[in-house]
Structure 1
Amino acid sequence: MSNAVEPFPYEIHDLDEEIIEKYPGTLRNYFRISKSDRTMYGFLVFRGQILYLVRNPKDVCVSTYLLMNTFTVLGPTVEFETFWEKFKQGLVFTTPYFEHVKEGWKLRNHENVLFLNYDEHTKDMRQTILEVADFLEKKLTDQDLNTLENHLKIENFRKNKAVNNDHLKVIGVMKNSDDGFIRKGKVGGWRDYFKGNLNVEADKWIEENLRNTDLEFIQPADN
C-alpha cells in the first residue's frame, strides 16, 4: 500500500473581489498565506485583513497531539515521542510548522496583517483586544472591553457551543471524556511532555529553523 498523499480532487478558485465586498465575514483556518496558497493570499490582494496567531512550536505539538487523541476516527493513540518525530517531519495536521510561520512572519508588516504571538498576547488580554480592535478600526467602549474579556476567558470558551465542538462527542467523532476540544489555554504546558534529551532536541530543532530570522519564542517563567 502506498503512503503517498493523494492530491486534493477539487479546484479551489481565486477569491472574487465582488463576492468579498458583498458577503463580508470571518474565516478561521490553518491555511498558509503565501502566494502559493491562492485562497489566503487572495484576502490580501482584495484588502482582506488577516490576524496571524503564532504559538511556541512545542506547545503547538503537544496541543495537536492531545487534540488528535480525542478523536475516535484516528485509531489508537501513539506515544508522544513518535508523534513528535512526525511533527518535525511535517507529517501531521498543522505542519510543516516553520514553513507556515516563516511565511506569516515575512508578511508581518503588511498593512492588512496583524501578527500576534500567543505566548505574549495572553499575558494582557485587554491590551490584546485593544490592539486587534485598532487593527480592525473598531471603537470599543469600556463595557465592550469588559464583555470581551469575560467572553475570552478559557473557562467560558469551554462552555461556548460555537467553538467547543461538543456536538462531535454526541455523534461519536470525539471521545466522550473530560478532555474536550478546548483545553487549558496554558502557555508552557509542553514541559509535561518535553523532558530531558527530548527537550534538548526540540530546542535545537527550533534554533536551527529560526537561524537567519529575527523571530523568537520567549520561554515562559516557571509557574
Structure 2
Amino acid sequence: MADNGDSFPVMAVPLAPKIQQEIQTKFGSFDKGLVEVGPGRYLLPPHCRLYLDKYAQFRFRPDDVVVTGFPRSGTTWTQEMVWCMTHDLDFTTAINTPLRERSPFLEYDSIYRPDFPLPSFLVDSKQHPDVDPDTTGVFLAHAESVPSPRIIKTHLAFSILPPSILESCKVIYVARHPGDVCVSSYHHQRLLKLMNFKGDLEEFLDFWCRDLVMLGPYWSHLSEAWAKRTHPNLLWLYYEDMNKDLLRELQRLDHFLATGLTEDELLQVAQHSSFANMKARPATNYSLIPESPILTPGEAEFVRKGATGDWVNRFTPQMKAKFQAWVETGSKAVEEVPPRYTQG
C-alpha cells in the first residue's frame, strides 16, 4: 500500500490479565483476549496489529465517502442511503447485491476471526486470489479495489485513521443515544459468533459501563468526531433525527454530497431504505441468509428493531442508576455534544 504521508505508529497494548479472564468468561470468541489501541485505548482483537499501520496509511480518494460512527449507531442504514444516492439510484443492484460487497468495511479483517470460514456475502475472497487473509487482509484488499465512487464504512475512531482523512474525502459521522446503542450492541454481540456474548443484558451493561466492549470507549469515539464537526468535509447525523424526519436528513445528505437529487428522488431513497425494507432484504439483513456461518441461530436479527428510546424499557431501576453513573464519566462529551436523549 502506498504511503500517503500519514504513517504513524499505532500502539496496541494487552488488557490486564484479570480483565482479560473476566471478558473471556462471557465473550466466547475472545479466547485470545483484546488489546487497547491508540491514545483512545479502543478495544480490538490482538490480530489487529497486522493491520493498524495499513489503516493509518489507507489511501482515500477524493470521491470517497466514509460512513462512520460507534457500532450500532445507524451506519448500515446510512451506508445504504448514501450508496444509492451516489450510484444513480440503482435500486436493482442495491436489492440484489449484499451491502458489504458494494460498500466495503475497512477494518473487518481486525474484527473477523482468521479461523472462521469467509462467507461471500461479506466479501468474495475469490475476487482476491493473491491475498493472504491471515497477513494481508481480504477486506482491505476489497476496499482498495472497489471502483469509485467508494462508500467505505468504518467504526475506527479518528485517532486510528489517517490524520489527513478529512482533507482527502468526505466523512459522515452517525451518532445515537448510548442507551439504545448499548441494547442494540448486546443483541448484536449475542448474534455474531465473532463476539459470542453469553450473558444477559445486565451483565453486558456492566461491561459497557466499564468501557470493555469491542471498539469502545463510546465517549472517546464520540468526542474525537465532535471535535472535527466544523470541518467542511464532515457531516454529523443523529440516528434519532433520521427516524423523526428522514426526508429532511436526506436533503442535508444531498447538499453535503452534491448529488443534486429532487425531492421525489429522495423520497424514493427513503422508501427503499425504510426499516421494513432493510429488514426484509438479505442484501442488508444478513440474518435472512440461510445457515450463515457467522450468525448464531435463535438470536435477534442483524436488522433488529430500529427503535429510539427503547433502552428506557429494557433497563431496570438499578441498571438505569449504573448507566447514569457511566453517563457522568463522559460529562464533558455530554455537555459538548448536543444529545438526542430520551430521559429515563
TM bucket (normalised to shorter chain) is 0.7 to 0.9
Q: TM-score by structure 2 length?
A: 0.57
Counterpart contact for 2:189–2:196, Cα < 8 Å: no
In the TM superposition, 1:128-139 aligns within 5 A as 128-139=249-260
**What percent of counterpart residues are identical?**
23
The CA deviation at 1:72 is: 4.0
The CA deviation at 1:92 is: 1.3
- Check 1:76–1:175 CA distance in 2 against 1; reply closer, same or farther (3 A cut): same
In the TM superposition, 1:143-222 aligns within 5 A as 143-166=264-287, 169-177=290-298, 179-211=300-332, 213-220=335-342
SS class of match (1:51): strand
- Check 1:76–1:215 CA distance in 2 against 1; reply closer, same or farther (3 A cut): closer
- Check 1:187–1:219 CA distance in 2 against 1; reply closer, same or farther (3 A cut): same
User: Which residue of structure 1 lines up, in the alignment, with residue 49 of structure 2?
Assistant: 8
User: What per-residue deviation string (whole Å, max 9, x for no partner) do you get for residues 39-72 of structure 1?
Assistant: 4x442131x1111001111111110000111134
The AA in structure 1 aligned to 2:250 is I
Q: Which of 24, 27, 38 is the aligned partner of 2:149?
A: 24
Q: Which of 20, 28, 49 is the aligned partner of 2:170?
A: 49
SS class of match (1:138): coil
Gaps (5+ residues) in structure 2? 1-15, 21-32, 36-45, 64-146
User: What per-residue deviation string (whole Å, max 9, x for no partner) do you get for residues 9-45 of structure 1?
Assistant: 233151336x556843111121112xx3234x44213
The CA deviation at 1:149 is: 1.3
How many angstroms apart in 2 are the aligned matches of 1:23 and 1:64? 31
- Check 1:166–1:217 CA distance in 2 against 1; reply closer, same or farther (3 A cut): same
Deviates more, 1:75-84 or 1:128-137: 75-84
In the TM superposition, 1:114-129 aligns within 5 A as 114-129=235-250
The CA deviation at 1:154 is: 0.5
SS class of match (2:341): coil
Counterpart contact for 2:240–2:308, Cα < 8 Å: yes
User: Which residue of structure 2 lines up, in the alignment, with residue 89 of structure 1?
Assistant: 210
- Check 1:200–1:143 CA distance in 2 against 1; reply closer, same or farther (3 A cut): same
Gaps (5+ residues) in structure 1? none
SS class of match (1:171): coil
User: Which residue of structure 1 lines up, in the alignment, with residue 95 of structure 2?
Assistant: none
Q: TM-score by structure 1 length?
A: 0.85
How many angstroms apart in 2 are the aligned matches of 1:170 and 1:27? 27
SS class of match (2:151): coil
For the aligned residues, what is the CA RMSD?
Answer: 2.6
The CA deviation at 1:161 is: 2.5
Deviates more, 1:196-205 or 1:60-69: 196-205
How many angstroms apart in 2 are the aligned matches of 1:206 and 1:195? 16
Deviates more, 1:210-219 or 1:121-130: 210-219
The CA deviation at 1:201 is: 2.4
The CA deviation at 1:73 is: 5.3
SS class of match (1:218): coil
